A and B are shown apart, each in its own frame.
Chain A
Amino acid sequence: NAGVTQTPKFQVLKTGQSMTLQCAQDMNHNSMYWYRQDPGMGLRLIYYSASEGTTDKGEVPNGYNVSRLNKREFSLRLESAAPSQTSVYFCASSGLAGGLDTQYFGPGTRLTVL
């Protein structure tokens, strides 16, 4: 089991460029999440998907779009990147483990917007 995988691991963009961050999980989980992690701010939820075909905004959705392509894959798109979107992005999926809907995180994508 690979768990949650993310591509790419690193990316540098110029202001105004677009890109898609890819995420896939092989744990047959229904729910998937996108977070960003910034110094002093902790993990903040961008978007989540409770099941295939549904998506909802989290705490910081502005400037992002998502697609739940199928049960395994959940992508995050930056249409016009801004320096404020420089961050580490984590994808997670969740499933029941020991009575708790536990979130499992991918290794992250480090994005720099110049």
Chain B
Amino acid sequence: QKEVEQDPGPLSVPEGAIVSLNCTYSNSAFQYFMWYRQYSRKGPELLMYTYSSGNKEDGRFTAQVDKSSKYISLFIRDSQPSDSATYLCAMSFTGGGNKLTFGTGTQLKVEL
């Protein structure tokens, strides 16, 4: 069993839809939870991060962490074609000098 599980998709939604992307994990020691966005043929870039449990909002994006269920989510409101990318969740034990454990990524396509 992988430490971090993520549905690979692909996920196709119409423009304006609310998108929900999810990861589950098995190691309860993870403290920092990140979402990276990766456009085709590019390197991943950090989108958002959350420490421990709770929600964090940044514009159209909301990250949620439920440590009791070992489940994290990324919600995208009013999705745009420019949101079409692969979204990878990542986790670490500490916030500094960290080695990240990544999910496999979910491919998202937002269609006009």
A residues adjacent to B (C-beta < 8 A)? 4, 31, 33, 40-45, 48, 50, 58, 90, 92, 94, 96, 99-108
Contacts and interface: CB of A to CB of B under 8 A. Distances in A.
A31 B81 CA distance: 34
Nearest to A30: B97
B35 interface: no
Interface string B34-52: 1000000111111001010
For chain B, the bracket of interface size reads 20 to 34
A43 B49 CA distance: 18
Nearest to B100: A103
Contacts of B32: 100
Given A42-B102, A42-B104, A4 B88 contact: no
A92 B45 CA distance: 10
Given A40-B8, A42-B88, A105 B43 contact: yes
Contact of A50 (B8, B41, B90, B97): B97
8 contacts: A42-B4, A42-B102, A42-B104, A44-B102, A94-B98, A100-B49, A103-B100, A105-B44
B46 A102 contact: yes
A107 B100 CA distance: 18
A50 B6 CA distance: 28
B interface, by DSSP: helix, strand, loop or mixed? Answer: loop
Interface of B: 4, 6, 8, 32, 34, 41-46, 49, 51, 88, 90, 95-100, 102-105
Point out which of A43, A99, A104 has the most chain B C-beta atoms below 10 A from its C-beta: A43
A103 B42 contact: no
Point out which of A31, A100, A101 has the most chain B C-beta atoms below 10 A from its C-beta: A100
B99 A43 contact: no
The 7 closest A-B pairs by CB, nearest first: A105-B43, A42-B104, A43-B102, A101-B96, A42-B102, A105-B44, A100-B95
Contacts of B97: 31, 50, 94, 101
A107 B97 CA distance: 22
A100 B34 CA distance: 10
A60 B8 CA distance: 22
